[in-house]
Structure 1
Amino acid sequence: MVFKSKNKAKAIEDTHTKIDSDIYTENMTIPKPQICLIDFDSEVVEAIKKKSFNIRSATFGLPISVPNFENYDKKFCLLNYDLPTNIHEYDIIAIDMNDNKVPIPYDVSQNVRENHKSNKSLCFLTEFPQTIFDPRPFSANILQLGLFNNKAKLILIVFASQKEEQKYSIVSIENDGYRTHEVQKYHNYSFMNNEYFEKNLNGKEIEVVVESDILHNLLSSTNKLFHYEVTFYHPTKWIDSRNVKDENFVPLMINRSKEIVSYFNFSNETLMFVFPQMKEKEKIIIPLLEEILPSMMPDIFPHSTLFSWKDKEEYWLPNHKELDEEKVRIERVYNKKLLEIDLKINKNTIEYSYLHDLITETDEKLVDAVKKYLEWLGFENVNKMDSEDRIKEEDLQVQLENGLLIIEIKGIGGTSKDSDCSQISKIKFRRCKERDKFDVVALYIVNHQRYLAPKQRRNPPFSETQITDAENDERGLLTTWDLFKGYFLIIDGIFKKEDVRTKLLNKGLVKLIPDKLKLLGKVNEIFKDGLVFILKIENYHIKVGDNLTVSLDDSFQLVSINSLQVNDNNVNEVNSGEVGFLINKPIRRNALIYIESSE
């Protein structure tokens, strides 16, 4: 939808000093500045609109999935951007360069012009092996031509992404075929006159360096939301026979290598802010529009200070003072409760920090975490054994009712070598000899690839040979990630502590998953936001109130059956047939459904 303003320039000029209160109501849009938001998520656009700013949403277009799969395949494409035809009249242009757009399928009808004023039609040619036509760099250049060919003041706000260049084969379709005109190159920064691009580089560690207090506070408060994908260089000027840094270019943020990842620059009546990519971009844009930019370019914000005198106490409306005092009281109560919750969160973090230590730490802290876990699990006699002044020992000993469990524990950046896995076997034989009994159980526990999030790690991290050797040597292999997940299986009632204690004595690859489960089937479709699904049951008695165990992506969840349906009729129990389940918690498609077996 294109926003259409009425006599905006004259209206703003006439009302700058004499706006009457009946001209604008609370629900009306402030006419100036005119703001164009290009390729922002709808949530960001709506958040800014709620502040009564004059917003027009636009796009550089969507990439097109072109089916050029074989030699000699070719397709003609057109641009699909949506930019205001009067883009040169806009005061503020904000651009989200985030490359998260999903290509749309190629549609011939959307890539052929219906009306022609000549016997030639220009378009873009794509040929095998090109399967994606990205119109955005070319559209960015169109924007550049519209923006910088006028001398009006402009504010440009950019959330930068990696620089990408595209080649475009421009052809003319005529009555006897097509002819190639030329090949042009553009990149996604083509809307800028100078992008000061240095290199593509990804990272999250960012330091705010701008000296302005208000900018520094804003960027510091949102720092954790940023991640950079590109760095920039500081431009220079030739002054007095030497290059000096351009004082109009101000770095805002740098990375750990002191490279610029954000800046603002003022040149040729254009004030440009370049920020890294971030979540919740409205948290930067709205404070810029409300607090920072009006003082930097007041001509673009003629309404920002209108009627500010109404905020003074001598002009307050009836009941304002009492309501303001009530607001202060509510804020005090809220802040007190918030502090209480923060203290509880901190206490909880300290109490259960050993669970995070299981999947992050190494050496002594990891051993201590496993020891605390085993004690929580119900082992009554867990002792630390290893020390530097003795021959290599196990890390933990657990006295069992009928024997001894010895545990070797490692935290490593990669995966275990064969010698790491088998070290515990040597200690096991030594303990058996000392005890003159073969009642020693050996277990190797590893926090592997510990610098990665557990779900990104190789799970399980053991080779087939390592698992077979462990079975033959009668020792166990286990990861701390399995211990971590096992904790929540117990808390959720899927496992019992005694079940896990028993499994830790198994040989080979130790899997902390329930044993007595019967697979009912796989969920292919879900309804009512995951609360309803259908399975075909064969000879198994199920009734309302039974618990089901749901497995997906190596995780488990316990749900209960609220109701059952067969042939659209509610039933209390079933044995066979196509059955509809209504459960108490939502699940996802492709989940596996189990029920506890009595066998």
Structure 2
Amino acid sequence: MTPENKPLIYLLNTSKTVEKALSPGFNVSHCWMNGYKIYEAASHRPLEIPYSSEIPSNLHEAEIVVIDTGLREGFIKGHSSIKIIYRHTPSVVDLFPLDMNTALSNIFSTDKLQLLFVFCESNNDEVYTLQNEAGKSSQYQSNTYCFPNYYGASPSIRVGNRMKVVEGEEGIEIKQCLEKYLPQSSYKLVFQMYQGKESPEIPLLVNEAGECVAFLRRMGSKVIFFFPEIYDKAGLLLDLFNNVLPDIGFCGEIFPNHGSFKWINDFSYISLDERNKLIDIDNEIKRHEETLSSLKEEYGRVHSKDENVKLRAMLKETGDDLVSAVKWFLEYIGFTNVVDPDKDVDVDAGEVFEEDLNFEHNGVHFLLEVKGIGGTSTDAQCAQISKIALRRKKANQGNTYKAVYIVNHRRYKAPKEREVIPFNDNQIEDAEMAQRGMTFTYELFNIYYMIEAGVISKEAARDAFKQEGLINFRQSLHKLEFNHCYKGVLVYSLVIPEGGSFTITKADKIAIQDNENHWHRLSIESLQIDRLDHDEVRNGKVGIKVDRLVSGAREYYVVKA
């Protein structure tokens, strides 16, 4: 074959769209393979089927053979003296493995280098009785992957669509090409790989369990690509034949007229200026990768800090992990000897779980119920800890007990999408009457950052646990209304709401919450009304000069000195 006609590509059983895509640039021939037919099974009725095939007799001459094992209904029609006979009519007859045997026998009849692409969509093992024109019968056993015995290919049925490329540089160009065509693709078979350095295989794709669903295997002079059910087969093959395989060493002679000219940027074929710029680009990429790697390591260390782990747990966890996170918060704000009594419960001895956490502070014994739930709390869930406190009071009448209910509500939702207050009015009123405190973990999360920013104190947070009903950790804050920001002079024009029962002095601080929920505490440098300085302001609009402005500021408060 002249170089102009190479590679000769045979498409067996592929859709016509594949032939249409490849024909403009390649020497392509297409033929169908036998499929299957459904019959009414009958043990008393024999069946004879004329066997014809379109398999080309010169498959051994092709450089590339593509086989789609997806079964179609129907047999090849033609004149043939060969029959397939059954003593009893089966419910299904599948002739694809017989055609596969014919094709592979032809391909493996020579030592010519050939690429074989197999889209693995079916796997059947069949036994056939063939009868020739003279009436002589012979029995054959064949399967969809009837490669020569010494090469073997024994897939197992496994259906799914979650696939990923195998890590490693070996076969990287093919892996990267395959990865582009994974959307809407699926697999129906998995393959056992050979192990060891001398393995003739390169795994390309695996499923989530690590089972191989695509690989390349050398079989003597043949290179076989086993692919799953790729949605865009035409696109994949065109990409491989035009852009990938021609530049891979062992495929060079198969594609004498194709390639992406990757060699054109070799230093031997470019100017010195181009060479130097490519080296500069390479060095910059390496520098960037080193910087990025360093930043990722730094982020990993920050991300894994105990306080950050616990704060995330307060937003998403339930059970022991949530209890542990709340215990950490209580200790952070200064409570001591916080106990998780569930750890010491002996269920086998008949002991029961009661409160999740307890501690004593200034003579008060706090009992806490900590719950992580997908919805909001029921009345019974809110009240359970009060029952435990009453039983404990009855058993120890000299002690003072305080019940507190803490919930991580709608924990599968982002906290900003949850109810601002996860308790209804009746639940809050019931808690007030029962002298029970109630709060939620997203509020504790926010209070941590307010404490870190100096907006409220740990002491104030501890005192808040004495409250009844919905715990208000922010009693020391007084909200201001925004009027204007004078960026050039670092002045916020804010308004003390009508009826506000507080004053602003230079000794106070301004607390700002930004649009990412972060808190900032600013020092007051001066107070002005109508450009006149004041030491104290009780009402109305006031210009407050601060030490800095906050980007994305959305809420403003006074923190009293």
TM-score, scaled relative to structure 2: 0.49
Instruction: Pick the structure with greater CA Rg.
Output: 2
TM-score, scaled relative to structure 1: 0.47
